[in-house]
Chains A and B, each alone.
Chain A
Amino acid sequence: MNTSSKRGSLVELSNLVRRFGDVTALDGLNLTLQPGELVALLGPSGCGKTTALRLLAGLDLADEGQVIVDGQDLTNVPANKRDMGMVFQAYSLFPNLTAVENVAFGLKVRGVDETKRNKKAQELLELVGLSKQANRYSHQMSGGQQQRVALARALAIEPKVLLLDEPLSALDAKVRTQLRDEIRRVQLEVGTTTLFVTHDQEEAMAMADRVGVMSNGKLEQIDAPDKIYANPSTAFVATFVGAMNRIPAILNSGKVSVLGQSITHGGGSNASSLVALVRPESIEVKISNTNDAKSGVVLARSFLGPQTRLTIKTHESNTHIHVDLPSSEALDLISGTNVSLKITAATVLTDADGKN
């Protein structure tokens, strides 16, 4: 198929600012997408990720900053001149058109003749596994099928950039996982530079080459998914991505004293009252009779398949801590068992106390 011959574009978002009245939705965003790369913008509602995507699409205009694609400044270019394919969170197929007509729409407005555009639309429907549904209208298709058609429609114009605005959030869990894999497969096959916006960290981690975590209109950190998880650069990233324990700690000469251990400070808050941020899988548990700062009692256990999550109350601070263990190692750790705790992480981040 022709689409595979066209590789992605270099996208540069430079110091983008967007204000809505008194609210600054995007506060100086700098982001570069390498050709063919899939970058996920991850963050809570209102963090500015969709605003960034809409500014790149041209559906909204920036108050400051630049949008540059392949060296061309598109900041003030209208949406219909930008050559960007977009898949929306809401079902966006045109109800008056069939699947194949939807996919061919972008080519039709570009003046491509009917035979060529229908041939290409059929090819793309085949790519997303819907060639048999070509003549169906949107109300005759499931949500997952509609989003697949929307993906084919976005790719039909051979866009410089593919923009995905939470395209899976309206789907049920099983379809979401299937379509997630399918979008990634198609994106790799076509090679289009892709910006994917989501609030679902599992989606972002599973699909993206790099994940950018946003908060309050700013990009907190952008890195490969494993690095974002293992080496978060800020307390926000650490707590937003994956499960995280917040355990009372004391900072002393670059060392964090937590659960009776002294661990190297990995950054974060220097406040007098602070908490250490420790992942559930970074804590070892052993049955013990001790009753000190390093020990606690098992309150509850949740079976999660290959892993079991224990909820442990520490003796000294009465803090509730979650610990993830392989299920085979958690068989004897029933409620009421006294255990000793050991943090295995080489460094820990800290955050000011009093937050969730």
Chain B
Amino acid sequence: MTKIKSGSTVTPKPGFGLNSVMIFGALFFTIPIISAFIFSVQVGDGSYSVFAYMRMLQDPGLASSLWLSTRLALMTVAIVLLLMVPTVTWLHIRAQRAKRVVEFITLLPLIIPPVVTALGILNSMPGFLLNTPYLLGFVYGVLTMPYTYRSLDTGLNAIDVRTLVDAARGLGASWRQVLSGIIAPNIKSAIFGAVFLAVALVLGEFVVASLLLWDTLPSWMAIVGQADAEGAVAVSVLSLLFVWILLMVLSLLDRRRKVRVNVGGMA
């Protein structure tokens, strides 16, 4: 029998089964990435070189496509922050009954094929947007809805939104002050999650960008890949690293907030 010291905290050790699952999961995700990396640095004679990376970094197409994708990511983030956060908050405090309908609507981008979405956009958007890449920003705003809505909804479910809003309104706060000073700081993790998902989707979306003939990072990578396989894989590895770094930065920002909130303890 295991003896437990009084007052000590016991953390159960993961068993063989759990360890196996974790190792399998880690291998499942890392082997393709490691293989891609090896492929991108391997030269014909069996030696290794970062030449493919250098070649890609010097290609002017990378900078322009990355800049376009970054602008689209920022636009999508703006849509999430300015449209989704207030809308989901409003659903929580004033229109609980409409939540099911909105939940269904947010799932539509997963159901409707991208080709149909692209054609629908071309036929419905105002003319002045059709020849600008910002058209894609609105599309991405819609395509990210299934993920951003759920992230924000979960965050709002974790706090008593209605009471907090009533309290802030009663103290004289305008709706803008309620959203920026009370709601947003208390669902920061959910907002970070939604923003990260939106950025990840924009940096990885290929079909709609390709159909609408815009050279975003994934479209450019696909074009490059037709002539330079190692180069395309090198860019894939770089974009993966970029997304990971972004995720780590967002996580660190979120953790810093939590540490700040938890400073001090109960007397």
Chain A residues proximal to chain B, CB less than 8 Å: 57-59, 78-86, 88, 90-92, 94-96, 105-106, 109-110, 135-137, 140, 150, 153-154, 157, 163
Cβ of B127 to closest chain A Cβ, rounded Å = 40
Chain A residues near B181 (CB-CB < 8 A): 105, 109
Cβ of A128 to closest chain B Cβ, rounded Å = 16
Report if A96-B261 is in contact (Cβ < 8 Å); known contacts: A59-B166, A88-B166, A90-B163.
yes
Q: A80-B173, A81-B172, A92-B167 are in contact. List 19 more A-B contacts (CB 8 A).
A: A58-B169, A59-B169, A79-B170, A80-B171, A85-B170, A85-B171, A88-B167, A90-B160, A95-B261, A106-B171, A109-B172, A109-B173, A110-B172, A136-B264, A137-B264, A140-B264, A140-B265, A153-B167, A157-B172
Cβ of B266 to closest chain A Cβ, rounded Å = 6
Chain A residues near B172 (CB-CB < 8 A): 80-81, 83, 106, 109-110, 157
Is B113 interfacial (CB 8 A cutoff)?
no
Cβ contacts B156-175/A at 8 Å (1 or 0 each)? 00011001101111111110
Can you name 23 A-B pairs with beta carbons within 8 Å? Answer: A58-B169, A80-B172, A86-B167, A88-B163, A90-B160, A91-B163, A92-B163, A94-B182, A94-B186, A95-B186, A96-B182, A96-B185, A96-B186, A105-B168, A105-B171, A105-B181, A109-B177, A135-B264, A137-B261, A140-B264, A150-B167, A153-B171, A154-B170
Range for the number of chain B residues in contact with chain A = 20 to 34
Centre residue among A91, A92, A137, A153 by max chain B CB count within 10 A: A92
| CB-based contact B266/A92 at 8 Å | no
Chain A residues near B171 (CB-CB < 8 A): 80, 85, 105-106, 109, 153-154, 157
Q: With A and B bound together, what is the CA distance between A57 and B266 in angstroms?
A: 34
Report if A94-B174 is in contact (Cβ < 8 Å); known contacts: A136-B264, A140-B264, A140-B266.
no
Chain B residues proximal to chain A, CB less than 8 Å: 159-160, 163-164, 166-174, 177, 181-182, 185-186, 261, 264-266
Chain A residues near B177 (CB-CB < 8 A): 109
CB closest chain-B residue, reference A138: B261
